[in-house]
Amino acid sequence: MFFLLILYRVYTFVIFGNKIRTIQREEILNKIKDLQISDITLDASLSNVTDFWGKVCSELGIPNNKRNRYRLRRVHECHKHAAGLSPSTQQDIDDSRDKEDGQKSAENAPAMSPSPLKDKDDSWTKEDGQKSPEKSPVSSTSDEQGFLKIPVPQKPSYFFIDRKDWENIKKKRKQRGFKGLQWTNVISKGLQTIYPYCSIAFKRHKLKIIGSKKASPEFWCLGYCRFEDCPITVTVTVNSEKDLKAEVKFQGEQSIHNATELKRRPVRADERVRIGEGLQTQLPRSMYLQRLTQIEDDVLASGCRDEAPTPQVLKNISWEVRKKSRQHSNEIRSLQIMVEQKTNGPDEVLQKVFLHPKGVMLWSIRGIEIFQDRCREDIVYLDATGSIKKKEKGSPPFYVYEVVVRNPQKGSSPLPVATYLTCDHTTASVTYFLEAFQTDVARTYGRKGMRVPIMLICDGSMVLMQAICSSFAKKNLQDTMNHYYTIASGKATKEDFDLPILHRCLSHVMKNAKDMCKKYAPNHYHLSMHVFGLFTTASSLRELDDMVESAAVVFSSPYSGPSVEKHFNNLQCWLQNKGFHLDETAVYHNQKRAEDTQTKLCTDGINVFRTHLDFLGNCTKSRSKM
């Protein structure tokens, strides 16, 4: 009866005009056989096979698209299993793909019909002895089309389900199956110990009826690989609850993964809760990178990312955790409840509201304590960010200014101690915010007990730098820079060292350098960026002057000569001494031009440090001399 169903199974295809056409399995197999006999065979090499399954679609009168080609391949593969053909007698069905089939989309693989199983009596046979769960030996191969092929275990393998996990999922069982999806996490975890290269999704499962005396397994499930071109299916059987030994059988000879395709299992049930707990003290991207580094190299190459959910998924989980922790479903009401709960406590929010220009200042007693404790030991940051609140009509955009200190616990999120939401982006507005915060610090600890930050970092905007100098250094920006110059020149007094250090964020410096190098030195971008990075490593004004002088000579000289060669060698020595790993191809041409004293440097990125020279005049003059 089983083979009759396979033989006369009818397939439905949608053709043009939303019309439906039904085709019997026998007709499909006959068309495939005719094409194999004529001029195209599945055993032929990829160079001789051109759109085999597309021709099958044309012969059957159905649209030639990826979905239909995939279904036809599955029909042929299921027929091979039902007929008892060994996969080694014919080349794998996926070797017949055309080039278009090799291009992957981001969509999930279509629903796969499982390969026919063996006789019922054979599928439950329990072999003598137990095999320890071992990963299959990796002898992967990659073909010309970019498909990775990894052999799967041909003999039954085993893993043992943890008793605690089994009892946990049994609490939520129904008559013939488990309620919820935690069981998929348990089985998937066991399969990873045997064959971690496929991302397994589960099609169905069943449990033994409670109280049944029939000789049947306690648990059985069927899964398939989520990679679009992978033919692997797997069955997991637990015959007895005494030892919870799970027998694993793979159907298929080898997994086939596109080298450009990545697949992940959905994060569900208890695994989602566990990750959410970890995200309370860790940023989503930080967790993603950490989990990615824990995956073995061969598993990374296979494209399976079950152990590393995407940053966006981790962000969604983090948001769900924060949403569940709300006091009320309404966000505004939840904030009101939080304020009421923290009244007259160390976490009480000190709030100042301005109607014109609109603004809100927020900090707490605990935030003041954290600032007072950390500012003399670590760096204090002042930064602004947008996209927090929608821009109102006729009003400037809203920015959030925040005073932040680093968390003493490594890997934890930084600690904001004062927040200012406003649409007034002036030095006076930001200075008032910092002074108001300093006033509440003085009320808590007294003027004599206040601590001046040892170092402050901002993005380099004039508004932030002027506000920091006015509030913390009690001087204007120019006077503060004069004090820093006396320190750098070795003529500092005790008064100079009493000032906090104002540091411009290095990442913003290099970002500006990146834009400048792309604009003025596109042909020597890597070299110019290395030189900018070299400037940031100078330990004295004298060393910085020498670096700038050498860079100016190399980049602004219209001709090569002994002086250019000398200064280029100086830059090269500094870069090597500082530990910069240069790309040899990025500096080779510059070095070659420096050695050739007759070669002109008119086209060699001379606009990086040069002043306004008459470039055309220099070139004209050089031609006249020649």
pLDDT in tens, 430-489: 999 999 999 999 988 888 788 888 899 998 889 999 999 999 988 889 998 998 888 888
Residues 535 and 500 in one domain: no
Residue 541 lies in a domain: yes
Tell me the H-state helices in 114-268: 120-123, 163-170, 182-192
Residues 517 and 489 in one domain: no
Residues 493 and 348 in one domain: yes
Residues 348 and 490 in one domain: yes
pLDDT at residue 565 tops 60: yes
Residue 300 lies in a domain: no
Task: Please tell me the total count of domains within the chain.
Answer: 4
Query: Looking at residue 250, what is its pLDDT?
Result: 93
Query: Looking at residue 133, what is its pLDDT?
Result: 42
Instruction: Report d(CA 597, CA 616) in Å as an integer.
Output: 21
Residue 269 lies in a domain: no
Residue 284 lies in a domain: no
Residues 354 and 494 in one domain: yes
Single residue among 263, 286, 312 that ends a domain in this structure: 263
What pLDDT, in 10s, does the model give residues 348-386?
777 777 777 788 888 988 889 899 888 888 889 998 887
pLDDT at residue 160 tops 90: yes
Higher pLDDT, 132 or 140: 140
What pLDDT, in 10s, does the model give residues 394-410?
777 888 999 999 888 87
pLDDT at residue 622 tops 90: no
Instruction: Report d(CA 466, CA 487) in Å as an integer.
Output: 20
- Nearest CA-CA partner of 464 in 518, 413, 515, 404: 404
Residue 440 lies in a domain: yes
Residues 162 and 97 in one domain: no
Residue 281 lies in a domain: no
Helix 584-595 and helix 562-577: axis angle, to 10°? 150
Residues 53 and 147 in one domain: no
Single residue among 458, 477, 504 that ends a domain in this structure: 504
Return the C-alpha torsion angle 116, 122, 128, 131, nearest 10.
Answer: 10
| pLDDT range class, residue 83, cuts 50, 70, 90 | low
Residues 154 and 83 in one domain: no
Q: Which residues constitute the domain of residue 213?
A: 131-263
Instruction: Report d(CA 429, CA 422) in Å as an integer.
Output: 9
Residues 528 and 614 in one domain: yes
Which amino acid belongs to residue 191? L
Residue with tokens 């932040």, as numbered in its chain: 404
Least confident of 8-22, 163-177, 512-526, 588-602: 588-602
Residue 319 lies in a domain: no
Q: Where are the beta strands (DSSP E) in 333-492?
A: 349-354, 359-364, 380-385, 399-405, 415-422, 455-458
Residue 107 lies in a domain: no
Mean pLDDT of 47-74: 75
Q: What is the mean pLDDT of the chain?
A: 77
What pLDDT, in 10s, does the model give residues 5-49?
344 467 777 776 557 778 888 888 888 888 877 654 444 333 334
Instruction: Report d(CA 255, CA 233) in Å as an integer.
Output: 10
Single residue among 504, 527, 559 that ends a domain in this structure: 504
Residues 217 and 364 in one domain: no
Residues 190 and 63 in one domain: no
What pLDDT, in 10s, does the model give residues 304-341?
999 999 999 999 999 998 888 888 887 778 877 877 77
Instruction: Report d(CA 55, CA 52) in Å as an integer.
Output: 5
Give a three-class secondary structure readout of 237-270.
Answer: EECCCCCCEEEEEEECCEEEEECCCCECCCCCHH
Higher pLDDT, 42 or 103: 42
Residues 372 and 494 in one domain: yes
What pLDDT, in 10s, does the model give residues 269-310?
899 999 999 988 888 999 999 999 999 988 988 899 999 999
